Amino acid sequence: MHEDATPLHATKRERLGSRYAARSRKAGKLPAVVYGHKEDPVSVVIDAKEAIAHFVKGEKVFALDVDGGKVETVLLKDLQYDHLGMDIIHADFARVDLDERVITHPHIKLVGEAKGLKKSGAVLMHPLDSLEIECAVVNLPEEIEVDVTGLDAGESILAKDVTLPKPTMVLKTDPETVIATITHVSESEASTESVQTAEPEVAGEKKADE
């Protein structure tokens, strides 16, 4: 078991189906399924408030016990939301070994104050909010920090420029993908863009009142 894995207790679900799942959620439980490692999938429920609090923090590796049985290391693989995309209604967990390598998407956290932002009209663009990497479960990162302090106007930080937390981690995102960039928009450029977006009058076209 991963020494830093968050303990999580689950109870096996004997009755399946949307009606029983709805009853579980109403009772403060979150339906989930545990699968993997050539073992049969197990449908369970976990405490919704406790589990979601861990999910919101970015935790993905858990020490899960079902009905007080053997503790297994599991990886949060997927979350399902309601039709409004607001509430979590189901979770998928995969059984894993600590040395098993998995694909994950840690959040990118920009740190520092970019020097290029001190210039008038400079804007920091952050088109990518996560990186795709391959790593061992034991090294699974919750987020990856990217220092933008030295970033100047007109410059960019690419995925290949990011130093991953562990040398054993492998970047899967396209290396040329832009993580952060600083663009400069002058007042004249903004005015030109505004004019270009206006619909041009076609020569010889009759006005509506004609």
Instruction: Give dist(CA 95, CA 76) in Å, integer.
Output: 9
d(CA 97, CA 56): 24
182-205 pLDDT per residue, tens = 997 665 544 444 444 444 444 444
The mean-pLDDT minimum among 24-33, 67-76, 114-123, 187-196 falls in 187-196
pLDDT tens per residue across span 124-176 = 999 999 999 999 988 888 899 999 999 998 899 999 999 999 999 999 999 99
- C-alpha atoms less than 13 angstroms from C-alpha of 55 in its C-beta half-sphere: 21
Q: What is the pLDDT of residues 69-78, one digit of tens each?
A: 889 999 999 9
pLDDT at 43 over 70: yes
The amino acid sitting at 107 is: H
Which residue would you say has higher pLDDT here, 193 or 4?
4
Distance CA 116, CA 166 (A): 29
Distance, in Å, from the CA atom of 195 to the CA atom of 175, rounded to the nearest integer, reads 36
pTM above 0.75, yes or no: no
More reliable by pLDDT, 97 or 48: 48
